[in-house]
Every structure is written in structure tokens, then in C-alpha cells.
Chains A and B, each alone.
Chain A
Amino acid sequence: MTPLNLTTAIFLFFTYTVGLIFVIAVALRIYQYATTPQPIKLPLTPAPLTAGGAFARILGEVVFFKSLFKSNKPTWLFGYLFHIAFFLLIFMHFLRHFIYANPLPWWYDIFVDIGIVCGVVMVLSLFLLLMRRVVVERVKFISLFSDYIILILIMLIGLAGLSLNYVISPAALTVVDNQLDPYMNGLLNFQFTNIPSNPVFLIHYTLVLLLVLYIPFSKVMHFVGIFFSPTRNMVDNPEEERYYRPNAKDLSI
């Protein structure tokens, strides 16, 4: 086993730190949203009359962005493309780790091609979302600095990822791939090996760490908050079943 270099040591440190902060901060948020009492019933009606119906309603929002579809088609389209591409990419990054073996399965190239399509779609839709913030007067007016930052950050991650396929040579990419697999394994079972040293890869990796660090403190927490939104997740049955939260203070409704 080769001894670890300094770059690896630094990245290991930051990977674990960021991972820990992410998990703890998100868990705390979930705890907070889950335990804060909701003093009164608040479903936006017409609302489902059963718990199953309310769950389906949330699912419709999460899987199809139903309300957004009703309110603004372009935003829905750009946003939906972005999220689909984003989630497919995350999923494929994990999957890749399990299918990367020697020899490579015959369909590995197709797998990579799908990933590249997702990457392009993601970057393009992010660009359109960004343009929307610049061009549409109302959206420009409400946009904050952080709204641009998050779009640009994810876009850069996408661009760096695509560069791995198009900017560096195929040979260099194979080196990265071959080093990445044991490195990732090492993260999980603490048998550390050196991180791929290709600078394009390191930029991609660093930006991802930044994103993961930023998520719990940003509006991206909507991926948790949407499940706790009382106007969407509550059952419309105040008369049928008494809704009473003794721990709710007699304060604001």
C-alpha cells in the first residue's frame, strides 16, 4: 500500500467534516420540523379526507411539482428538468461505484452516455433558470444573491463533471476512474488510498463538498420542508376527528 499524500489527507479531513455537518444539520432540521406543533388544521382545500389521500397529495408535489405546473409552465419545465437530471446523476454516481469492475460490463459506455446527457440537461436547465432570474422582471426583483450563487455553484459542478469527459484525455479519465474506486471504498471502510490527483477532478470534488456543506443552511432545505408543509400534508377532517395539540401554545394560528 502506498503512503497517503498530503492532498489526500486534506480531502479526507474535509470530506468527513462536511459529511458530518450535513448529516447532523439535516437531522436537526428534520427533528425541528417534525416536533414543532401545528396548533390548528391548515389544509388548503379542497383537500383529501384521508391520511392516504394527503400522502398522495404530497407525493404529487414531490414527484410531479403539481402546484408549480398549475401556476407557471416554463418554470415548471426548467425546474423539473433540472431536478430529474440532478437526481438521476446522484443516483448514477452511487450506482457507478457498484458496477465499476474489471473488466467493465459491455453496457458501461451507454451508462456513461446517459450520465452525460443528464449532465448537459442539468447545466442547460440551470442556465435557463438563471436566465429567468435575469430576464423576467418580477423574478429578478425577488432574487437574492444566494439565489444566483446556488444556481452557479451547481452549474459549475456540472461543467467540471462534463469536463472530465471532454476536456481531459480518455487516458487521464481512466486513471481517475481507477483511483476513484478504491478511494471511495476507503471512505466507507477506513482503508484509505490516495485521491485521484487530476486537477479537474479535484475541482469537481471540492465544489460538491461546498454544495453539501451549504445545503443545510440554505433554501435547498425545501427537499425536507416540503414533506412538513401543513397546507399540503394535513387531512381535511376537523369536524370528523378532533384535532388538538395540547403542547401548542395559545399564540398564533
Chain B
Amino acid sequence: MANPKDKYKIPVLDGKIPIPKIVPGASAYEHMNEAQKVDMEALGFPFKLKDGWKEKAIGVFKEILDNNKAVRDYMDICVRCGACTDKCHFFLGTADPNNMPVQRQELMRKVYRYYFTPSGFFKSLSNSQELTEEVLKDWFTYFYQCSECRRCSLYCPYGIDTAEITMAARQIMDSIGLGQKYATEVIHKVFRTGNNIGIPPLALRNTLDDLEEEIKEESGKDVKIPMDVEGAEVLLVPPSADFFAMPHMESLKGYAKVFYKSGISYTVSSYASEAGNFGMFLGSYKNTKEINKRIWDEARRLKVKRVVIGECGHAWRAAYTYSNTMNGPFDFLDAKYRQPMHICDFTLGLVKDGVIKLDPSANDDKVVTFHDSCNVARGSRMGDFKGGQIVIPRELIKAAANKFVELREGTTKESTYCCGAGGGLLTEEVMNLRLAGAMPRMQTVKEAVDNHGVNFYALICAICKTQFSKIFPLHGFEEEMVGGIHQLVSNAIIM
């Protein structure tokens, strides 16, 4: 078997994150596979470009401009100051100028100028461009080289959010039949089975049984992971990877132990067995809402009092930001609690109230560092104070482990670098892009390992976990370094 290291272009790790010299077209070859017919149709999109696609696309573009203040505003006001140009991990990793956030926006803005502004009249001078198949090809390439992480927005003087523009572009492409296989396939699976992986209820129950047994062997306690139980207090919705993938399952064990020790009754659901929401990646309101709705329908059906979401970055952003807008209000739930609540918030509350006890020395073999998931850090909040999404995970780590170090200043908290695989990019065909996108983050990991002996990389995102468990070994780090915060909790909780 060929060594996977030969297959990929693996960036050299020397701890530095230089701003590269521009190399036009450097990552133009990194393509997504196109969506399949069944998946596109299941999501309400046409399949393949049909006659009149251009008019259709411009029509949808117009509708978005008329119905989305962010896109409307951001099309006009960029001054090309360049402040964002060195902030995107994909530009730092690939050197492709179309991965500079402003240039990514220009791909769309030049079409905007052509159709929607008088300056479209002075074609060459104003950089306006008709929507041709050529342009569409660039869109399909570069709007799928954005992980919608919003780092550029943080540094833009107007807060121009390239993620919004990426979403709008994907929405336009989907509406004329040009979709991406990975995300559409995943959403179709959710509609069929309730989760991204496509696990049917029986198989889910089987894994949960296995997990219960594992916990029993490890701790000697009868920790249950109930499924579809009516009348439980809490509906727990983890990302489905927590049921099946490693190291995600270790965190699920952590959740289960927390519920066991606190005595709060809970259940997972086979219908809403997914916290993730890939509808957001497509920028599709309709699909995002449909996926989100499953959680709240199930909360009603199971008559729970509260909803808790597991460790997942974009899932938390979707649940936190969109739930109430799209499928609220939640007056049928207990108004005492945040609805939904993040599992870290939930667990830390129990620790602080003394309901559960953690012994941090159980993790003394570990030097822990923490990667702020961009969707959590820049797109959501935990707790009832500003910046809770930054503070709460750290407090929980410190309660569960004695040795904690921060990654390099300026690459953490709201300035965090993305893992390079969010926004629907967690797919094998763009592995080189994922490696390039993860480069800035990996440089800081390398530094933390070399200088502080870090050997545990704590995450609260299913996609981050999958991405890093794949990338770490390619860089010569142990795959076992990657894990969730609740994996630490699972080790430390006094049973």
C-alpha cells in the first residue's frame, strides 16, 4: 500500500506562519465532486444546468439582494483596503489570490456590478463581468474553498462577512443545479435517517448498547444511554459522529457519565440524532430550518423540559442562533433554562453547583491545549455573559485537568484559526486543500508541542475532531492527541 504521506502535499511545520507571495491559480485544481441527482432533488434543487440557467441565477441573485441585508450591504461597501488579505487560512496555506477574502468576494461582486449597478456600463474599467460558465467554474472552485469561518469578518473595518457571500453564492449555484456532492448527500441522509452518517434507529441502539457496556467495563457503573424515552427531563442532541467515530465517542461517554452522576434524566433521539446542520453550509434557509426543526419536533414529542447540544462547532452556531428564529418560540420548554444549552455550559454548571465532582489529577498524564472552534468563538455564545463561549470551555478544561496551556496569542479565542475543513469541506477529494487550510493552526500546535510538551488537543467540534485526527498523523503527531473536552471530563469525573 502506498504511504499516504506520498499522496498528499504536506506543509512543512516550522512554527512560522508567513504571508506567502501570491501564486495565481495555485489551488484552482482543488475541486469538489458535483452533487448527485437524488440528493439535489431531495433538497428541492434542480440537477445540472438547464437552458436559461443564467437568467435563473441572476433572478435568485436579485432575490437574495432584496432579502438579505448582509449580502446587499457587503456587495457595495468593500473599499479594498486589503486588511483581510492575510487573514484567511486558505490563502496562507495555498497562496492562491482567490483565497484572499476580498478576492473571493470579488468573484461575486464583479457579477453584481455587471447586472445590478450602473458601473456595469464601463465594463473593463469597473471590473464587472457577465455570469458565464467560466465564472461559474471559478465560483464552484473558490466558494468551496471557504470554510465559512468568519475570521476575515473579524478583521474587516466594516465587518464584511465572506461566509455570507459564500453562502449566497452556493445558494445561487444550488438553485441552478450546480451542487456539491458531500454536503447535499449528507443533508439527504438527515432527511432519510435523522443524521449525517445515515445510521438507522436499530443500529444506533446497538452502538449505544456497546457504549454502555464499555463504560461498565471501565467504571463498573451501570451508566445508561437512553434513546427515544418520553418524559425525560433533557433531550440530548450530539453530532452523530459522537455515536460512531473516534475520538468523538469518548466524549459521548463523558456526557453519559455527567447525566448519570447528576441524576438528571435524559434521552437521545433516533429521529433527531444529529446536532449538525449542513443546511447552513449551503446557505439554504429552507434546508437549515428543516434540519433544525427535527430537534424541536422531537422535543415536543418526547415532552422534555430542556434541550442540550453536544460538542460541535457549526451545530452549536446553528442551534444557538437559528433555532428560535426558525422554529421558536419554545414556550413548551422550561423557561428557567437556556434553550438550547451547550453541553459545556451544562456540565460546568453542575460542577460549580457541586452536583458532580471532577478529579483533575486523573488527567495528570496530559498537557492540554484548546482549539477554539471558529463557529463557537465567532458565531455563538454560551452562558449569559459576553464571551461565555471563550470562557466556559476553558473553565471546564481547567476543572478536569491540571495542566493547561494556551495556543499562540492571536490565534485563539475570537481570532482562532479554522481547522480547514468546516463549511462542508470535510471530504476526501480536497484533502490537499484541507492540509493547506490547517497549516496555520498546525504551526501553532507544533509550537505548543515543542515548547510546552502539549500532548492533548481538546476540541468541541465533530468536524474539527475528524479533521485533526486525520491531519495529526500526517504531520507525525499521535492521532490519540486529539479529543473532546468531555473526554477529559469522562476521565476526571468521580463516579
Contact = CB atoms under 8 A, between A and B. Distances in A.
Contacts of A243: 324-325
Contacts of A100: none
B150 A253 contact: no
Given A142-B85, A238-B321, A230 B285 contact: no
B97 interface: yes
Interface in B339-397: 339-340, 377-381, 385-387, 389-390
Interface size on A, as a range, is 35 or more
B85 A40 contact: no
A141 B71 CA distance: 23
A139 B125 contact: no
Contact of B63 (A61, A72, A138, A249): A249
B214 interface: no
A142 to B, nearest CB: 5
B155 interface: yes
Nearest to B119: A217
A145 B167 CA distance: 28
Interface in B87-105: 87, 97, 100, 102-103
A123 B475 CA distance: 50
Contacts of A253: 68, 167, 280, 283-285, 288, 322
A248 interface: yes
B158 A232 contact: yes
B160 interface: yes
Contact of B77 (A70, A143, A225): A225
Interface stretch (A2-10, A31-39, A160-168, A198-206): A31-39
Contacts of B74: 225, 229
B203 interface: no
A44 B378 contact: yes
Contact of A39 (B68, B127, B153, B338): B68
Given A41-B321, A65-B157, A71-B155, A217 B117 contact: yes
B154 A219 contact: no
A232 B77 CA distance: 14
Interface string A109-149: 00000000000000000000000100011110111111100
B91 to A, nearest CB: 9
B38 interface: no
Contact of A226 (B69, B77, B154, B390): B77
Contacts of A32: 72
A48 B69 CA distance: 20
A142 B159 contact: no
A231 B159 contact: yes
B269 interface: no
A68 B83 contact: yes
Contacts of B161: 42, 44, 230-231
Contacts of B125: 145-146
Contacts of B185: none
A14 interface: no
B311 interface: no
B76 A225 contact: yes
A72 to B, nearest CB: 5
A67 B381 contact: no
A192 to B, nearest CB: 31
Contact of A249 (B67, B69, B70): B67
A44 B70 contact: no
Contacts of B154: 44, 67, 70
Interface size on B, as a range, is 35 or more
B83 A230 contact: no
A36 B67 contact: yes
B325 A242 contact: yes
Interface string B280-313: 1001111011000000000000000000000000
Contacts, number: 229
B168 interface: yes
Contacts of A48: 386
A238 B380 CA distance: 9
B322 A40 contact: yes
Nearest to B318: A253
Interface in B442-469: none
B77 A71 contact: no
A20 interface: no
B379 A230 contact: no
A209 B26 CA distance: 44
B155 A222 contact: no
A45 interface: yes
B2 interface: no
A251 B68 contact: yes
Nearest to A48: B386
B69 A145 contact: no
**Residue among B164, B283, B386 with max Cβ neighbours from chain A (10 Å):** B386
Contact of B82 (A41, A70, A139, A231): A139
Contacts of A75: 81-83
Contacts of B286: 250-251
Interface string B116-154: 011100000111000000000000000000000010011
B473 interface: no
A40 B328 CA distance: 13
Contacts of A238: 320-325
Interface in A59-82: 61, 65, 67-68, 70-72, 75, 79
Interface string B1-31: 0000000000000000001011000000000
Contacts of A61: 157-159
A232 B150 CA distance: 13
A133 B63 CA distance: 35
A5 to B, nearest CB: 33
Contacts of B97: 138, 141-142
A73 B322 CA distance: 35
B289 A71 contact: no
B56 interface: no
A49 interface: yes
A36 B167 contact: no
A186 to B, nearest CB: 32
B78 interface: yes
Interface in B35-71: 60, 63-71
A251 B64 contact: yes
B418 interface: no
A217 B72 CA distance: 14
Given A40-B322, A68-B157, A219-B78, 10 more contacts: A44-B153, A47-B381, A71-B87, A79-B81, A142-B82, A142-B100, A229-B160, A232-B159, A236-B386, A251-B67
6 contacts: A39-B67, A46-B390, A61-B159, A67-B83, A146-B125, A231-B161
Q: Which 7 A-B pairs have the closest CB atoms?
A: A225-B77, A71-B155, A231-B159, A139-B82, A38-B69, A68-B157, A46-B387
